Amino acid sequence: MPGEKDHIVAETAARIFADLADPQTVNRANNGAWKEPLWQTLSDAGLTLAWVPENLGGAGASLPEGFAILGVAGRFALAVPLAETLAAGWLLAQAGLEAPAAPMTIAPARPNDRITIGADGMLSGRATGVPFGRDCAHIAVLADDGKRKRIALVDVKDCRLNEGQNLAGDAANTVTFDRIKPTHTASAPAGFDATSLLLMGAAIRSVQTAGALEAILSLTVAYANERVAFERPIGKFQAVQQNLARLAGEVAAALAVSSSAADAIAQAKTFDEAVFLEAASAKIRTAEAAAEGSAIAHQVFGAIGFTQEHILHRFTLRLLAWRDDFGNESYWAAELGRRVAARGADEFWPLVASR
Amino acid sequence: MSTSLSFDPVRLPAQCETLRAEVRAFLTQEISAGTFDPHHPGHGDSYNRDFSRRVGAKGWIGMTWPKPYGGHERSQLERYVVTEEFRVANAPANFHFVADRQSGPILLKYAPEHIKKEILPRICRGELCFAIGMSEPGSGSDLFAAKTKATKADGGWRINGSKVWTTSAQVADYMIALFRTSPSTKENRRHGLTQFLVNMKAPGITVNPIYQMTGKPSFNEVVFADAFVPDDHVLGEIDGAWKQATSELAYERSGPERFLDTFYVLPELIRALGPEPDLRSAEGLGRLVAQLHTLRRMSVSVAGMLQAGKEPVVEGSIVKDLGTVWEQKLPARVRELSAFLKPELLNHTALEDQLAYATVIAPKLTIQGGTTEILRGIIARGLGLR
């Protein structure tokens, strides 16, 4: 349950986003000049390294506080690598590595990508869809040395990146590690594996998705109350009301499942079966909500919502794009389905009702 | 009114898990004694007076009510655990469930003290079955169009008219019903209805079964011909029932019974698919699991809000909307996912039987207790659209 401290941190984040990353202002700007002052302010406020303990150079915020920041970031459809930097700082901290004070991202960010680390300490492999790769100075990497997992920090300039971008136009790059020497490496803790990182990424995207869905619900309801057609606000028509009620349902589902997943990760000692159910379900259900919810919002807004000028696309395109990061809903559904099947019919309800 | 929705990640406290173990042990014992078959969905939809008495003796009816009325002053979350375990096991809770969920709470709030003292302890002991008298031949979703009349008489009221689609009326001891005591007014079309406690054994009340498309006589027509209801059986304000109707909705609408009504097909599907399902089946199953998990988290969260003394009417309506639509679609999804299974599988017949049962009952799930359309209207109002 969000405590008071989570609210304070989230309110700080909200104030900064409102001042420096207001969706309307950002949408009007035809360059990325707003990004630099925003990042500087976030960094000065200790938000970029929220999940890095103080002894490793960070702000030492709790997991719930960090998730609260990301929920707010979702509400602003924030297009800077804040979530990725938080995640990178968290990953480095798992191995006791210090975090640098510059934008970071993490790899791998998709299920089937593997990065290996040789006996000589060099990284090889390829990671696809690395979010904001081009906009970052460093990548926190989870690598495999054949026996165990290691966590490494690399400079982006040492890697090869393609020109990729996601549906919303944010950088999403294929990063090739062609015998790259990391600046730092250390062993991952026992039991920490590629699935652990992916689950954390899934929970993070779920929380952002729920935030963005909250924002489009509020935008869409406000518009339905203002826009007049057939001599009354369109929100007075039952057909529109029913659609908005469905949107509220999708928002509610996304909020409930993502905050539950975030809480589960914050409370858990390891990424166990219960965390898997929570985080995988969150990614699946929020991705479904993203698709349903964006479609309804666009339907209510009509043509104006389909323009570059309107801010709706900043939310809806990110909602749709985030579905593909850290395992899409089909991937997680197949994995979850396999695990549930392997446990067997009689162990199914006890898993669902375990907390 | 606002678009801000609240679904905090509520966890069940430790005492809930102790209770869950007790409930499972009790149900296991009842199953081995032959009271019901957990694989038979029809058993979950049946009346068993003796079973309800044993449930009452365990202290699992009226769990949250004050002790002076036979209650146990336990939390909403503890009640939640009992409800979901009963539902998942297909336990025959129909005899006491409506009284426990909504009739008791209405009496607690609106009945005179001596009525509460008389009736509530009997509900808690599992001795009483309640029906809800809302729909009439000319009024269903439009509750405030009810015409069945209560006319003032000496010491009470005379009731004339009829209620329809009344579940449990054939076994019920009491009904909580809405009757017209005054005409509606121009200013307020909801004015003029009063809530009454009706003794179903009173003269002048006839119950006629109406067979459902399942072949079961679960519906009834209840005809009132000058039936007498004493003054102290009026619940709340005369002509003002509309003010009382909404606050209980969160209780009625957000419970686990709002998404678990066809649950039984899911474990049966898992059994049929076996430990290593193909990709299509695994993905389909995984999505259903994620959706179910989400609904349960939402529902537990609303239970937590109720426990904290809030009235999450919009959140409760959302749970029922999403939950009933999901449980209605569940048999169709399971049917698709089991389409290519081999008929010689051990549980193939069980799965087919359960699917048949779930498929036939599915249409009612989004109608009973507030249709999808009505719920979405309530949600829209909560969003500030009407």
E strand segments, A183-268: 184-187, 228-229, 232-233
* Percentage of the residues of chain B whose pLDDT score is greater than 90: 86
Question: Considering only CB atoms, which chain A residues are within 8 Å of B88?
Answer: 349, 353
Asked if A149 and A91 touch (Cβ cutoff 8 Å), the reply is no
Look up residue B265 and give its amino acid.
V
Integer Cα distance of B95 and B99 in angstroms: 8
Q: Regarding predicted confidence, which is higher, B353 or B253?
A: B353
- Of the partner residues B12, B289, B379, the one whose CB lies closest to the CB of residue A336: B289
Name the CA dihedral angle for B30, B35, B37, B38, rounded to a multiple of 10 degrees: -40
Write the CB contacts of B199 (distance below 8 Å, at least 6 apart in sequence).
B173, B174, B229, B233
Is A246–B376 a contact, with Cβ atoms under 8 angstroms apart?
Answer: yes
- Of the partner residues A255, A338, A355, the one whose CB lies closest to the CB of residue B282: A338
Is B287–A352 a contact, with Cβ atoms under 8 angstroms apart?
Answer: no
- Of the partner residues A217, A218, A337, the one whose CB lies closest to the CB of residue B289: A337
- Side-chain half-sphere CA neighbours of B60 within 13 A: 25
Question: Considering only CB atoms, which chain A residues are within 8 Å of B279?
Answer: 334
Which chain A residue is nearest to residue B279, measuring alpha carbons? Answer: A334
Question: Tokens 């959706």 appear where?
Answer: B291
Integer Cα distance of B316 and B299 in angstroms: 8
Asked if B209 and B217 touch (Cβ cutoff 8 Å), the reply is yes
Which chain B residue is nearest to residue A233, measuring alpha carbons? Answer: B385
Write the CB contacts of A305 (distance below 8 Å, at least 6 apart in sequence).
A297, A298, A312, A313
Is A337–B283 a contact, with Cβ atoms under 8 angstroms apart?
Answer: yes
Per-position pLDDT tens, chain A of length 355? 456 677 899 999 999 999 999 999 999 997 899 999 999 999 999 999 999 999 999 999 999 999 999 999 999 999 999 999 999 999 999 999 999 999 999 999 999 999 999 999 999 999 999 999 999 999 999 999 999 999 999 999 999 999 999 999 999 999 999 999 999 999 999 999 999 999 999 999 999 999 999 999 999 999 999 999 999 999 999 999 999 999 999 999 999 999 999 999 999 999 999 999 999 999 999 999 999 999 999 999 999 999 999 999 999 999 999 999 999 999 999 999 999 999 999 999 999 999 8
Supply the ipTM of this predicted assembly.
0.97
Give the pLDDT score at A3: 63
Main-chain dihedrals φ then ψ at residue A47, nearest 5 degrees: -80, -30
Distances (CA, A) of A200 to A159, A350, B102, B176: 24, 24, 41, 50
- Of the partner residues B3, B291, B318, the one whose CB lies closest to the CB of residue A249: B318
Question: Considering only CB atoms, which chain A residues are within 8 Å of B250?
Answer: none
Count H helices and E strands in chain A, helices first: 11, 10
Give the pLDDT score at A1: 44
Is B267–A348 a contact, with Cβ atoms under 8 angstroms apart?
Answer: yes
- Residue from A278, A329, A343, A352 whose CB has the most chain B CBs within 10 Å, to mutate: A352
- Of the partner residues B271, B292, B301, the one whose CB lies closest to the CB of residue A256: B301
User: CA torsion sign, A321 to A322 to A326 to A331?
Assistant: negative
Residue-wise pLDDT tens digits, B214-266: 998 889 999 999 999 999 999 999 999 988 866 666 667 889 999 999 999 99
Distances (CA, A) of B176 to B3, B61, B113, B129, B150: 34, 18, 17, 11, 13
pLDDT band at B192 (very low <50, low <70, confident <90, very high): very high
Question: Considering only CB atoms, which chain B residues are within 8 Å of A251?
Answer: 5
By DSSP bridging, strand A149-155 and strand A184-187 are antiparallel
> Looking at chain B from residue 238 to 267, which residues have their Cβ under 8 Å from any Cβ of chain A?
266-267
Interchain CB contact of B104 with A (< 8 Å): no
Question: Token pair of B84, please?
Answer: 């979901």
Residue-wise pLDDT tens digits, A302-348: 999 999 999 999 999 999 999 999 999 999 999 999 999 999 999 99
- Omega before A108 cis (within 30°)? yes
* Kind plus residue range of the DSSP H or E element containing A80: none
Question: Considering only CB atoms, which chain A residues are within 8 Å of B385?
Answer: 221, 224-225, 235-236, 240-241, 244
Integer Cα distance of B349 and B90 in angstroms: 18
